[in-house]
Amino acid sequence: MGDVTFYKGQNGSFARQKGGVDKAKILNDPSFQRVRENLAEFARAAAVSNILKGAFREITLRSKDLRTHNRLYTLAVKVVKSDLVSKRGQREFMLGDHSLMEEFQFNINATWNSTVFAKYLPQNSDTEVGVAFETFIPGVKIAKPTGATDARFFLVACAINPEEKIQPTNLVYSQVIKLDQEPLTGLVFSIPRIIVENAIQVYALGIEYLQEVNGAYYALNDKSHNAAKIILTD
């Protein structure tokens, strides 16, 4: 109202006088050149983070926390700033170090290492990306939330190109795993590589919990225990 802004904070209602630097000055004053460069790169990272949200939808439908999308934006900023070719203010996500995305946890409250204790080896080729698990006892090596009788792993593959509106994404599941004391041997599964011109390939591994009822398997409504992480960028 006028030059006074009214707002609610954690400790009640407040009023403050309108302030800040004039927008025209930020856009034109030479002394704000660094600010303009930062704003340009933040805007570029914001656009990329929206693309990442779409590309990773198959993952976030199964595993995420309340700040996953915010953390994806932070990740996009980090990759943009790792571009060692472009000038400041013109750095690009596609020219950054995409390996910085590896090990990104989609659910910070249920990270992969705090959920799955079974060891696996990457199984990568020119046509597929997969994992081969060492023999393990599911009831010991997989954290078991209340209500879960079984689990299954999943792999997601997506190709990311900020210039394209559609980001190709595929999903495959492992076999259903009974969360009991029987050793599980020979668990290997893979997903075809997504080969798209001028795109970054991203592969993620996750776990989803199930409940068996009369021979049918249902995903738990509470997905807060599901974990997923990026295992490879190419």
pLDDT of residue 24: 62
Each residue's pLDDT tens digit, 153-198:
999 999 998 887 778 999 999 999 999 999 999 999 999 999 888 8
Query: For residue 122, what is the enclosing H or E element?
Result: strand 120-124
Beta strand pairing status for 150-160 and 169-173?
antiparallel
Residue among 37, 32, 30, 2 nearest 16 (CA): 2
pLDDT of residue 109: 95
Whole-model pTM? 0.84
Each residue's pLDDT tens digit, 23-65:
664 555 556 566 677 677 888 888 888 888 888 999 999 999 9
Each residue's pLDDT tens digit, 93-135:
999 999 999 999 999 999 999 999 999 999 999 999 999 999 9
d(CA 205, CA 154): 6
Q: Which amino acid is at 67?
A: R
- DSSP letter string, 153-221: EEEEEEEE-TT-S---EEEEE---EE-SSS-B---EEEEE----TT-EEEEEEEEEEEEEETTEEEE-S
DSSP annotation of 229 = E
Per the structure, the complete domain to which residue 174 belongs is given by 4-233
Place 19 in a pLDDT band, splitting at 50, 70 and 90: low
Mean pLDDT of 210-227: 94
Residue 1 has pLDDT above 70, yes or no: no
d(CA 179, CA 29): 63
Mean pLDDT of 197-221: 94
User: How much is the mean pLDDT over the chain?
Assistant: 88
CB 150 within 8 A of CB 179: yes
| Angle formed at CA 16 by CA 10 and CA 20, multiple of 5 degrees | 110
Q: What is the total count of domains within the chain?
A: 1
pLDDT of residue 167: 85
Token reading at 89: 């203010």
Give the burial string for 24-33 (b: 16+ CB within 10 Å, else e): eeeeeeeeee
Q: Is 12 left (phi over 0), alpha (psi -120 to 50) or beta?
A: left
Which residues, in sequence order, are CB contacts of 230 under 8 Å at separation 6+?
A: 101, 102, 103, 104, 202, 203, 204
Judged by DSSP in three states, 152 sits in: strand
Judged by DSSP in three states, 43 sits in: helix
Residue among 160, 154, 129 nearest 205 (CA): 154
